[in-house]
Structure 1
Amino acid sequence: MIFIENEHIKCRATLSADLEFVKTAESDAENSRFVSQWTIEQHLSAIGDENQMHIIIEDVKTGKKVGYMLVAGLKNNNNNIELRRIVITDKGHGYGRQSFILMKQYIFDELKAHRLWLDVKTYNERGRHLYKSEGFVEEGIMRESVLYNGQYDSMMIMSILEHEYRAFVHML
């Protein structure tokens, strides 16, 4: 069971009791256009899958749930781990950045990943800005690869390699 924290947030394994919060978070109007809508069964499957981490993000001071993350590829033979999803419900407080920093550290230091990657909708400026500011490189666009509300959205593939992560952390 994953449990990492800093002075602002803690990340812990999602429990089945958390899934109502998760479903509400991903269906929220501010989040739904950026993330796929999963069923409870899909989330339960991810919770039970040793190749994935389903994580709840909480405010350390209040204990309030402020988001969740999905990470996949833990058993990938090429040491490529995917940040599949990060959803923050309480925006503007730095929870997304703090979660992202903690997860990068965990993935490279504990899981010994070679590459951390994600895809982000090309119009998700807030997300792309965060990822770039945290050392991620844009690799390319999967054109019109996701159907959302009757229209196809394009996805930007972004990644950071382990040596790039080490150099980025060293610069801070």
Structure 2
Amino acid sequence: MRIRLRPTSPKDIPSIYETEQMEENRVYILPWEKERHQLSLTDPDIRHLIVEEADTSRVVGYVILAGLTNPHGSIELLRITISEKGKGYGRQVLREIKRRAFHEWGANRLWLDVKEENKRALQLYLSEGFIMEGKLRECLKTNDRYESLIVLSLLAREYDGQAGSETSKSL
């Protein structure tokens, strides 16, 4: 099933909040209050996007990016949250975000952090060409334990190199 990204509207906030509160999502993100999602919709530095199935327009997740006005061309992928796992939506979203970041928004660097325990997401980012930059050791306190974040990034020249090798593979 193919996906489509569209700007988030205020009417989407309840389903976003519901998706964040799902146990399989909540353990890997830092959920926002509904008000913070609402405020981000008008922030020129942030892109808040809904992930829909292209054929049915059924909402299957959302994406938040920050740094769109960053003068250094460094965009942060704050969050990809998908409500239905194992269908390839996350990979499709990540590929579309990379394309937009480098070809539409003129980024030099797309970066993110991911909880060290989120092995599924970490493997996805690595398989999509992101380079591990380091670890922020025990920087988050969740209930009674500390968690570490892995910082990853992809540069425009690396992305363009990937795109070129994908083209040559298909010839």
Q: Same fold (TM over 0.5)?
A: yes
SS state at 1:163 partner: helix
Per-residue CA deviation, residues 142-169 of structure 1 (Å, 9 max, x unaligned), is 0111122232110000000000000111
**Runs of 5+ unmatched residues, structure 2:** 167-171
Match in the other structure for 1:26: 20
Match in the other structure for 1:152: 146
Is residue 2:131 matched to residue 1:127?
Answer: no
Write the letter of the residue equivalent to 2:72. Answer: N
**Runs of 5+ unmatched residues, structure 1:** 1-6
Moved over 4 A (4+): none
* Distance (whole Å) between structure 2 residues aligned to residue 133 and residue 165 of structure 1: 13
Write the letter of the residue equivalent to 1:103. Answer: I
Write the letter of the residue equivalent to 1:90. Answer: E
Residue 58 of structure 1 is aligned with which of 52, 56, 60? 52
Match in the other structure for 1:70: 64
Aligned residues: 166
Query: How far 1:67 moved relative to its partner?
Result: 0.4
Write the letter of the residue equivalent to 1:23. Answer: Y
SS state at 1:135 partner: coil
| TM-score, with structure 1 as normaliser | 0.94
| TM-score, with structure 2 as normaliser | 0.95
Query: How far 1:44 moved relative to its partner?
Result: 0.8
Write the letter of the residue equivalent to 1:128. Answer: L
* Distance (whole Å) between structure 2 residues aligned to residue 111 and residue 146 of structure 1: 30
Larger mean Cα displacement after TM superposition, 67-76 or 146-155: 146-155
Is residue 2:126 matched to residue 1:139?
Answer: no
Residue 88 of structure 1 is aligned with which of 72, 82, 89? 82
* Distance (whole Å) between structure 1 residues aligned to residue 55 and residue 87 of structure 2: 13
